[in-house]
Structure 1
Amino acid sequence: MLNKIMKRGQRKPSKSEAIEPPLPTSSASNVTVNHASRLAAPTPQPVTLATVPQNPGTVEVLPMLRDVPMSDRHNLFIRKLQICCILFDFTDTMKSIREKEIKRQTLAELVDLVQSGSCKMNEIMQEELIKMISVNIFRCFPPAAHENTGTEGGDPEEDEMFMDPSWPHLQLVYELLLKYVVSLETDTKIAKRYIDHSFVLKLLDLFDSEDIREREYLKTILHRIYGRFMVHRPFIRNAINNIFYRFIFETERYNGIGELLEILGSIINGFALPMKEEHKLFLVRALIPLHKPKCIASYHQQLSYCITQFVEKDYRLADTVIRGLLRYWPVTNCGKEVLFLGELEEVLEVTQSAEFQRCMVPLFRQIGRSLNSSHFQVAERALFWWNKEHIVALIAENRRVILPIIFDALERNIRGHWNQAIIGLSSNVRRMFLEMDPELFEECQRHNEEREARAGELEEQRESTWKRLEEVAAQGTAEDMVFL
């Protein structure tokens, strides 16, 4: 009888208990995580990543999750996460080949499992999953990550592309994180406890990776996090702002500016109207100053898209944007000047007449200087503005202000520019103004001739003065000179 009572006390657990142990509801209930300690001795206890050995000797080959009973899948899932926490040296391709392959296959299995949704993860499993992902992706970059970022404005396509040797594993870890974030089985209320502000900040730090493949994954993942975790949206925007400030005013070195701007381009497109003051301040304090760094060529396309999106959303921002670009106009960098002219063209395409009139005087004073640039690509890019119908309409409407500003620049190009293409384009623009308003054209031409005549008289006076000084100096002797 005594033996029967003892056997009854050692009953087997039900299937639900083995699959999902009760979750902790408070700090005091952490001890209830290992409820399996009440089970019979042969049944393994649930494990966590805290039990992972610091220096594991060998990597254990575990069965596939689909090949074990439901009652064992929880523990097996955690054990597989333990394997995936082991980091390897990928600089030596012949080292730990077997162990690396086991980890790669385990990661691939976890990706398929999360993508299929066949195994619903409880809170403990999700927490351990995020811990494993953090162990793999959050790492320090080598010093070279800050030495070859193209800070002198070189062509990033000509630089040798960096390929992280650990990418076979990193890619699977990023894929796993992406599948977890986008999975319909993921409860955001639970997930936000582990994908918290600290996690997001560390994720943003990874955008400085030199490996463009890693930055592409990070861009997609952060965008998905922004879309699903609404509570994180203001924090993510502020964190990106801080990265931009540090880049603009301190380091001018950061690899992921283009990817962050791509995310922001999508975010800006979704801004509600009327636009919040916070977003306008972001435009003035972060986006416009991003035109300052020398390496703007590496992210200018994405930056220009963000700027244009703001003007499309709120046409009243056109004057702010144009004056901001003029403030950071390059003086000696012709490559940057070509980029600025192209961006201004896109902004003017969505600018309305009232905003155009506010800034047209300083704008076309700068365009006049660009028209006379000895760098033919700068002059050519400025002259191409007259191929845009909307810009020509704005100019025609305000021709009495604009033509007197640039008339002299057009005349100088036609008379003396070294490039025949610039001479031809300048002649075409001159003809457009003549057909647009013959009287205004003749008036500008007359004023231009008067200015040239006055300039000629001044030049003659200077030459005459120097000639007299030379004659006096030739007639005098050393004794006549007075030394002060």
Structure 2
Amino acid sequence: MIKQIFGRLPRKQSKAAESRESNAHTATLSSNSSVNSQSGELSTNRALSTHNFVTPGSYSEYYYGGKTYPTVDPKLNGISPSPTYETLPSFKDVPISEKQNLFIKKLNLCCSLFDFNDQTKSLKEKDTKRQTLLELADYVASVSGKFTEYIMQEIIKMVSVNLFRPFTPAPRENKIPEALDLEEEEPLMDPAWSHLQIVYEFFLRFVTSPETDAKLAKRYIDHSFVLRLLDLFESDDPREREYLKTILHRIYGKFMVHRPFIRKAINNIFYRFIFETEKHNGIAELLEILGSIINGFALPLKEEHKLFLVRSLIPLHKPRCVSAYHQQLSYCITQFVEKDCKLADTVIRGLLKYWPITNSSKEVLFLGELEEVLEATQPSEFQRCMVPLFHRIAHCLSSSHFQVAERALFFWNNDHIDSMIKQNHKVILPIIFPALERNTRSHWSQAVQSLTLNIRKLFSDHDPELFEECLCKFEEDEAKEQEIKAKREGLWNRLEDIAASKAHCESVSVSLNAPH
């Protein structure tokens, strides 16, 4: 069964296959019961940098459970020398009393690393290690009896040696233009995935196993381990990030003592991404984990969680690459508003603060998110922010980009939003009327004109008197604007005449004073 699951994978997957794989992992993640992070919290005053762990790139030793384990010689560029592999029997060929020792021997065997960039090297050893990893994953899934502390230590050592590695930035010919659709970029696949995938599956089964005692395992799956696991979200391989997403979510659910630390560590990743680098491969996956965590928050929301919304989630709208993770971000934001309707005003004003001015595709994303937030907004909160909100919507309605204008006009198709607009139409109509009127008279898109006429008729039927007042005021303002424009043009014409006259006088004076 396990061999069927982990058959040899192709080097590259089609987009459809990647999408199916991503959706499967997402379904698994979201199907889990939401974790209430309010309970079992500990103080997180201990600085992140004080943990005793090996940073990416310094692969001289690992420290776990009071012991130091040598790993890879740095001179070998992260690759261990090929060991002399002893032939180990299968688990089914040894008595129950020997299985634990055999398990440890197989773990130690799998601590050796190979160069997967060269497909011709160590073929026999690579295949032996892969088969051993498959046996280990199968054994962890079927074992009966609690894992001992020593076995946990050996498991974490093997997982750490295989997974925790430095990432070399992939060479790019040119910087990716902002306008380029990042989804068209071909993802980079790790050549060692045939082994890494089984290590991830093995570790996932260990974490979720009922035989893993969380109180004992937390000594080895500690803060330093969690930090290094979070570092792996920088991987270019989307398959690896999917596994990491599932594993971190399960760790969050099983180890209650780590929950505040995990949230704080993710928060720090977001800060570094927003305000320093704007480069990180795993923001979408981290947000997907947070979406499930936020869904489990108990009410009333803690001040810590509200600050996380204001200081991290809302500023995530700022980076130019927001489209890469906007769907997950929008879900997290909406979850907060659904949890506490009073946060709607804070969220809407935050969106307006980071509203894109010159990026129309990003503006369409913001309008879609704004509609989801408004759908969860109560009328009292809507009234608090409707004036600045509809000044921005008026700009969108009159946008020359037809997708932006259409997306703004679609707000009236939402019954809840339309109901709140009608309740406050005396404030809203005067704000957006000029944009509606200009669209009907001069917008180049026939679809935008047609939609605008429908909205215009809704207001006209709902309150004819106010509509006529707005129309009269619009025509007066247009007349005044034309008058000001005519005066300005007349002033410029007079200035041009004066300049031309002065130039003519100077030329005549020069010609009269010239010697004959």
Relative to the length of structure 2, the TM-score reads: 0.81
The alpha-carbon deviation at position 156 of structure 1 amounts to 3.0
In the alignment, does 2:301 pair up with 1:275?
Answer: yes
Taking the aligned partners of 1:183 and 1:473, their CA distance within structure 2 comes to: 88
AA at the equivalent of 2:87: V
Residue 37 (structure 2) aligns with: none
Query: RMSD in angstroms over aligned alpha carbons?
Result: 2.2
Equivalent runs, 1:34-53 vs 2, <5 Å: none
In the alignment, does 2:295 pair up with 1:259?
Answer: no
Deviations, residues 254-306 of structure 1 (Å, cap 9, x unaligned): 00000000000000011111100000000000000000000001000000000
Conserved? CA contact 1:364–1:406, under 8 Å: yes
Conserved? CA contact 1:49–1:82, under 8 Å: no
Residue 450 (structure 2) aligns with: 424
Contiguous gaps of at least 5 residues in structure 1: 1-47
Conserved? CA contact 1:153–1:295, under 8 Å: no
Deviations, residues 115-145 of structure 1 (Å, cap 9, x unaligned): 1124643111111011100000000112218
2:413 counterpart (375, 382, 387): 387
The alpha-carbon deviation at position 464 of structure 1 amounts to 2.8
Q: Larger RCO: Structure 1 or Structure 2 (Cα < 8 Å, ≥ 6 residues apart)?
A: 2
Residue 475 (structure 2) aligns with: 449
The alpha-carbon deviation at position 449 of structure 1 amounts to 1.0
Conserved? CA contact 1:417–1:423, under 8 Å: yes
Residue 506 (structure 2) aligns with: 479
AA at the equivalent of 1:248: I
Deviations, residues 238-258 of structure 1 (Å, cap 9, x unaligned): 000000000000000000000
In the alignment, does 2:259 pair up with 1:219?
Answer: no
Residue 13 (structure 1) aligns with: none
AA at the equivalent of 2:505: A
Conserved? CA contact 1:240–1:260, under 8 Å: yes
The alpha-carbon deviation at position 392 of structure 1 amounts to 0.5
AA at the equivalent of 1:155: D
> CA 1:234 to 1:306, structure 2 compared with 1: closer, same or farther past 3 Å?
same
Equivalent runs, 1:109-188 vs 2, <5 Å: 109-118=135-144, 120-144=146-170, 152=178, 154-188=180-214
Between 75-84 and 115-124, the greater mean CA deviation after superposition: 115-124
2:366 counterpart (340, 348, 359): 340
Equivalent runs, 1:70-469 vs 2, <5 Å: 70-118=96-144, 120-144=146-170, 152=178, 154-469=180-495
The alpha-carbon deviation at position 148 of structure 1 amounts to 9.1
The alpha-carbon deviation at position 231 of structure 1 amounts to 0.2
AA at the equivalent of 2:212: T
Between 52-61 and 271-280, the greater mean CA deviation after superposition: 52-61
AA at the equivalent of 1:160: E
> CA 1:171 to 1:88, structure 2 compared with 1: closer, same or farther past 3 Å?
same
Contiguous gaps of at least 5 residues in structure 2: 1-66, 73-79, 510-516
Deviations, residues 61-103 of structure 1 (Å, cap 9, x unaligned): 2001221123333322221111100101111112111111111
AA at the equivalent of 1:258: A
Over the matched positions of the two proteins, sequence identity in percent amounts to: 66
Q: Secondary structure at the match of 2:113?
A: coil
> CA 1:379 to 1:189, structure 2 compared with 1: closer, same or farther past 3 Å?
same
Q: Secondary structure at the match of 2:212?
A: coil
Taking the aligned partners of 1:321 and 1:213, their CA distance within structure 2 comes to: 33
Residue 48 (structure 2) aligns with: none
Deviations, residues 331-389 of structure 1 (Å, cap 9, x unaligned): 11111000000000000001011111111111111111111111110111001111110
Between 472-481 and 363-372, the greater mean CA deviation after superposition: 472-481
The alpha-carbon deviation at position 149 of structure 1 amounts to 9.6
> CA 1:76 to 1:89, structure 2 compared with 1: closer, same or farther past 3 Å?
same
AA at the equivalent of 1:165: P
Q: Paired residues, what number? A: 435
Deviations, residues 138-186 of structure 1 (Å, cap 9, x unaligned): 0011221899996836423201121111001100100011001100111
Taking the aligned partners of 1:52 and 1:397, their CA distance within structure 2 comes to: 68
Deviations, residues 395-419 of structure 1 (Å, cap 9, x unaligned): 1011011100010001111111111
AA at the equivalent of 2:417: I
> CA 1:355 to 1:211, structure 2 compared with 1: closer, same or farther past 3 Å?
same
Residue 23 (structure 2) aligns with: none
Larger Rg: 1
> CA 1:245 to 1:237, structure 2 compared with 1: closer, same or farther past 3 Å?
same
Taking the aligned partners of 2:493 and 2:171, their CA distance within structure 1 comes to: 63
AA at the equivalent of 2:251: I
Q: Secondary structure at the match of 1:143?
A: coil
Taking the aligned partners of 1:259 and 1:71, their CA distance within structure 2 comes to: 42
AA at the equivalent of 2:442: G
Conserved? CA contact 2:141–2:205, under 8 Å: yes
> CA 1:203 to 1:52, structure 2 compared with 1: closer, same or farther past 3 Å?
closer
Q: Secondary structure at the match of 2:321?
A: helix
